[in-house]
Amino acid sequence: MNFREGVRGVVTRKKVLFIAVSMLCLGLLGVPAHALPEPDAAKAPATSLSLYANQSVVLDTPFDIKRVSIARPETADVMVVSPRQIVVIGKSAGTTTLVYWSREEVPNKVEVVVGINLEIAKEDLQKIAPGETFEVTAAGDKLILTGTVSDNVVQTRLVEGAQAYAKGIVNLLKVKKLEQVLLQIRVSEIDRTLAKELGFNFLFLGNSHLGGISPPNNFNPLGGDPRVPSLGNGLTDQLTAFITKPGLKDFAVFMRALDDKGGVKLLAEPNLVVANGAEGKFLVGGEFPVVISTGSTGTSSFSVVYKEYGVRLGFQPKISPNGEIYLHVAQEVSELDFVNAVVLSGFRIPALKTRKAESGLQLADGQTFVLAGLLDNKVSKQVSKIPLLGDIPILGALFRSTRYTNNETELMVMITPKLVRSLDKEEIPTLPTERMKPEETSPDMIW
The CATH code of the domain that includes 137 is 3.30.1340.30
Output the pLDDT for position 93: 81
Last residue within a domain, chosen from 72, 99, 115: 115
Q: Among residues 409, 411, 262, 230, which one has the least CA distance to residue 329? A: 411
Secondary-structure percent of the chain, ordered helix, strand, coil, rounded to 5: 20, 50, 30
Pairwise CA distance, residues 56 & 49, whole Å? 11
Output the pLDDT for position 88: 92
**Do residues 298 and 161 share a domain?**
no
| Beta strands at 264-268 and 179-191: parallel, antiparallel or unpaired | antiparallel
Last residue within a domain, chosen from 115, 135, 151: 115
**Do residues 170 and 305 share a domain?**
no
Instruction: Report residue 235 CA to chain centroid gap.
Output: 27
Is the pLDDT at 169 greater than 80, yes or no?
yes
In a domain, 144, yes or no: yes
**Do residues 265 and 395 share a domain?**
yes
Please report which confidence band the pLDDT of residue 68 belongs to, taking 50, 70 and 90 as the band edges: very high
Going by C-beta distance under 8 Å and a sequence separation of 6 or more, which residues neighbour residue 198? 217, 254, 257, 258
Output the pLDDT for position 214: 38
**Do residues 223 and 350 share a domain?**
yes
Kindly report the pTM of this predicted structure: 0.47
Last residue within a domain, chosen from 115, 130, 150: 115
Please report which confidence band the pLDDT of residue 5 belongs to, taking 50, 70 and 90 as the band edges: very low
In a domain, 36, yes or no: no
Tally of structural domains, the chain: 3
**Do residues 110 and 122 share a domain?**
no
pLDDT tens, residue by residue, 134-145:
888 888 778 889
Is the pLDDT at 222 greater than 50, yes or no?
no
Please report which confidence band the pLDDT of residue 202 belongs to, taking 50, 70 and 90 as the band edges: low
Going by C-beta distance under 8 Å and a sequence separation of 6 or more, which residues neighbour residue 66? 100, 101, 102, 103, 105
**Do residues 102 and 230 share a domain?**
no
Is the pLDDT at 307 greater than 80, yes or no?
yes
In a domain, 13, yes or no: no
**Do residues 141 and 227 share a domain?**
no
Going by C-beta distance under 8 Å and a sequence separation of 6 or more, which residues neighbour residue 47? 109, 110, 111
What is the span of the domain harbouring residue 282?
A: 181-425
Q: Which residue has the higher pLDDT, 67 or 410?
A: 67
In a domain, 244, yes or no: yes
Output the pLDDT for position 381: 53
The enclosing domain of 104 has a CATH number of 2.60.40.1080
In a domain, 31, yes or no: no
In a domain, 42, yes or no: no
Instruction: Report residue 166 CA to chain centroid gap.
Output: 18
Output the pLDDT for position 99: 92
What is the DSSP secondary structure assignment for residue 258, as one 8-state letter?
H
Q: Is 76 exposed, middle or buried (0-12, 13-18, 19+ CB in 10 A)?
A: buried
pLDDT, average across residues 402-413 = 66
pLDDT tens, residue by residue, 92-144:
888 899 999 988 888 999 999 888 888 888 888 888 888 888 888 888 778 88
Neighbours of 359 (CB within 10 A): 16
**Do residues 257 and 199 share a domain?**
yes
In a domain, 253, yes or no: yes
In a domain, 395, yes or no: yes
**Do residues 172 and 286 share a domain?**
no
Largest CA-CA distance found in the chain, in angstroms, rounded: 186
**Do residues 406 and 367 share a domain?**
yes
**Do residues 234 and 344 share a domain?**
yes
**Do residues 265 and 280 share a domain?**
yes
Q: Are 185 and 413 in contact (CB under 8 A)?
A: yes
Q: Is 29 exposed, middle or buried (0-12, 13-18, 19+ CB in 10 A)?
A: exposed
